[in-house]
């Protein structure tokens, strides 16, 4: 009996040691560079990073279904609205409250359950030969509903989370009724039925199918980099970026976020990984591979992003936690407006 007891204790110790030296990341981000980043973390900390990659909905479904048996420690995805909605389902827990995290991430880009690890802006792209300076002067997201843009605007479908978060910010700032009227105006101004990803919207402007498009900043830089081929690179050269709402609250900002899963078996290691992702070394790696904006101060974006302009006013008034809270309202007004 004594021998069995010793073996049992030894097994428990070995199991605990293995558990204490790993962290399980469920990631909806699709960058090979993230894997390289996790390898850097392992080299520094000795903590192995196990990654499960997939679409956000599939990952969330798996975590929910597995419940307390889930091995997920961190859920990493590309929109504050998704992290907020997952939190609302009770699938995240508090704990991302270390001094390092609080010092790195501005309050409007974090909660105790999830934090931003990189930023992006959702902006307007225009054809310089067809859009005048006067038309752009004072351009806001709200003014995209102006009849002067009738038949000239392209934007993704209403089921796109980036659009839902943008509209959620309008609901938060202007009210649901005003956002509904705005959505009707945007639908009326569409040059075509929504289709394709953000790069497809930029391509449409370059091809003359529309004069303005709404898309995230990193897509233009990705196209300009040549990583998506010569055709997209040439198309990107034909459009120019414009940062809306510069005379008001500032340009809409969103994040890639990391959430601490409710039943995380390696909570301390998960917090350590988030702290690493917010280090200067990690932030430089992220922005130079994904073309996002850094979350922390003192790190410069990729030169292609810098060339788009860094002196724009960011919306730091609207806390990104509202993107999840107002997501249902946003989708409701979009669908009511006939936004496909």
Q: Over the stretch 203-248, which tens digit does the pLDDT of each residue have?
A: 999 999 999 999 999 999 999 999 999 999 999 999 999 999 999 9
Query: Rounded CA gap, 241 and 132, in Å?
Result: 13
Q: Which pTM does this prediction carry?
A: 0.91
Locate the domains of the chain by residue range. Answer: 2-119+254-301, 120-252+320-336
Predicted pLDDT of residue 112: 97
Give the residue-averaged pLDDT of 184-212.
Answer: 98
Res. 81: pLDDT tops 90: yes
Q: What is the mean pLDDT of the chain?
A: 93
d(CA 122, CA 251): 7
Tell me the C-alpha to C-alpha distance, in Å, between residue 77 and each of 47, 98, 191, 298: 21, 21, 31, 24
* 13 has pLDDT over 80: no
Question: What would the DSSP string read from start to end of 243-312?
Answer: ---TTTT-B-EEEEEEEEBTT-TTHHHHHHHHHHHTSHHHHHHHHHHH-PEESSTT----HHHHTT-S-P
Per the DSSP assignment, residues forming a β-bridge with 122 are 216
DSSP alpha helix (H) spans, 113-175: 133-136, 161-174
For 293-317, what is the mean pLDDT? 96
Residue 19 confidence (pLDDT) above 90: no
Neighbours of 283 (CB within 10 A): 24
Torsion, Cα of 7, 9, 14, 20 (10° steps): 170
Instruction: For residue range 248-298, list pLDDT tens digits in order.
Output: 999 999 999 999 999 999 999 999 999 999 999 999 999 999 999 999 999
Query: Token pair of 113, please?
Result: 């359950």
Tally of CA atoms within 13 A in the half-sphere of 58 that contains its CB: 7
pLDDT over 80 at 6, yes or no: no
Structure tokens at 116: 């931003």
Beta strands in the chain, from DSSP E residues, in sequence order: 22-27, 48-53, 74-77, 114-126, 153-154, 212-216, 240-242, 253-260, 293-294
* Fold match between domain 2-119+254-301 and domain 120-252+320-336: yes
* Residue range 10-27: mean pLDDT, rounded: 62
For residue 128, how far is the Cα from the chain centroid? Answer: 28
Report how far Cα 182 is from the mean position of its chain's Cα atoms.
23
Q: Which two tokens stand for residue 220?
A: 């233009």
Helix (H, G, I), strand (E, B) or coil at 304: helix
Q: What is the mean pLDDT of residues 331-337?
A: 98
In this predicted structure, what is the pLDDT of residue 37? Answer: 97
Query: Does residue 44 surpass a pLDDT of 50?
Result: yes
- H or E element that contains 27: strand 22-27
The answer to whether residues 254 and 323 touch, using CB atoms and an 8 Å cutoff, is: yes
pLDDT at 55: 95
Note whether 290 and 203 are within 8 A (CB): no
Contact call for residues 213 and 162 (beta carbons, < 8 A): no
**What size, in residues, is the chain?**
340
3-state secondary structure of 251: strand
Give 93-116 pLDDT, tens digit per residue.
Answer: 999 999 999 999 999 999 999 999
- Give the model's confidence band at 124: pLDDT under 50 very low, under 70 low, under 90 confident, else very high: very high
Q: What percent of the chain has pLDDT over 90?
A: 94
Give me the percent of the chain exceeding a pLDDT of 70: 94
**Mean pLDDT of the region 16-29:** 79
pLDDT at 202 over 50: yes
- Judge contact between 317 and 167, C-beta under 8 A: no
Q: Which CATH architecture group holds 120-252+320-336?
A: 3-Layer(aba) Sandwich (3.40)
Architecture of domain 2-119+254-301: 3-Layer(aba) Sandwich (3.40)
Task: Estimate to the nearest angstrom the gap between the alpha carbon of 219 and the chain centroid.
Answer: 12
Separation of alpha carbons 144 and 170, rounded Å: 12
pLDDT band at 20 (very low <50, low <70, confident <90, very high): low
Q: How confident is the model at residue 3 (pLDDT cuts 50, 70, 90)?
A: very low
Spatial CB neighbours of 7, under 8 Å, sequence gap ≥ 6: none
Residue 30 has pLDDT above 90, yes or no: no
238 against 20, higher pLDDT: 238
Helix (H) or strand (E) holding 153: strand 153-154
Q: What is the pLDDT of residues 127-159, one digit of tens each?
A: 999 999 999 999 999 999 999 999 999 999 999
| CA-based R_g, the chain, Å | 22
Torsion, CA 277, CA 281, CA 287, CA 293, rounded to 10: 70
Read off the pLDDT of each residue in 64-83 and give the average, rounded to a whole number.
96
């Amino acid at each position: 009996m004594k021998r069995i007891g010793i073996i049992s204790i030894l097994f428990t110790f070995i199991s605990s040691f293995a558990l204490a030296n790993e962290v399980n990341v469920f990631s909806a981000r699709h960058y090979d560079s993230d894997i390289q980043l996790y390898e850097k973390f392992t080299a520094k900390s000795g903590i192995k990073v196990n990654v499960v990659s997939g679409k956000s909905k599939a990952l969330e479904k798996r975590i929910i279904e597995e419940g307390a048996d889930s091995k997920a420690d961190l859920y990493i995805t590309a929109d504050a609205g998704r992290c907020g909605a997952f939190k609302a389902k009770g699938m995240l827990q508090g704990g991302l409250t270390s001094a390092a995290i609080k010092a790195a991430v501005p309050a409007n880009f974090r909660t105790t359950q999830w934090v931003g690890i990189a930023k992006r802006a959702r902006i307007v792209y225009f054809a310089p030969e067809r859009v005048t300076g006067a038309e752009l002067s004072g351009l806001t997201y709200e003014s995209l509903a102006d009849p002067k843009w009738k038949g000239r605007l392209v934007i993704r479908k209403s089921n796109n989370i980036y659009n839902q978060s943008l509209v959620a910010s309008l609901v938060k700032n202007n009210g649901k009724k005003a956002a509904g009227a705005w959505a009707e105006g945007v639908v009326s101004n569409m040059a075509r039925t929504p289709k394709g990803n953000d790069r497809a919207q930029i391509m449409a402007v370059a091809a003359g199918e529309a004069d303005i498009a709404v898309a995230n900043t990193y897509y233009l830089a990705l196209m300009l980099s040549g990583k998506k081929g010569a055709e997209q690179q040439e198309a990107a050269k034909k459009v120019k970026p414009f940062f809306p709402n510069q005379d008001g609250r500032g340009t809409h900002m969103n994040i890639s976020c990391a959430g601490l899963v409710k039943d995380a078996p390696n909570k301390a290691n998960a917090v350590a990984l988030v702290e690493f992702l917010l280090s200067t070394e990690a932030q430089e790696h992220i922005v130079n591979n994904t073309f996002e904006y850094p979350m922390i101060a003192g790190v410069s974006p990729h030169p292609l992003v810098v060339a788009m302009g860094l002196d724009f006013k960011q919306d730091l008034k609207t806390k990104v936690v509202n993107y999840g809270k107002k997501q249902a309202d946003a989708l409701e007004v979009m669908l009511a407006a006939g936004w496909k």
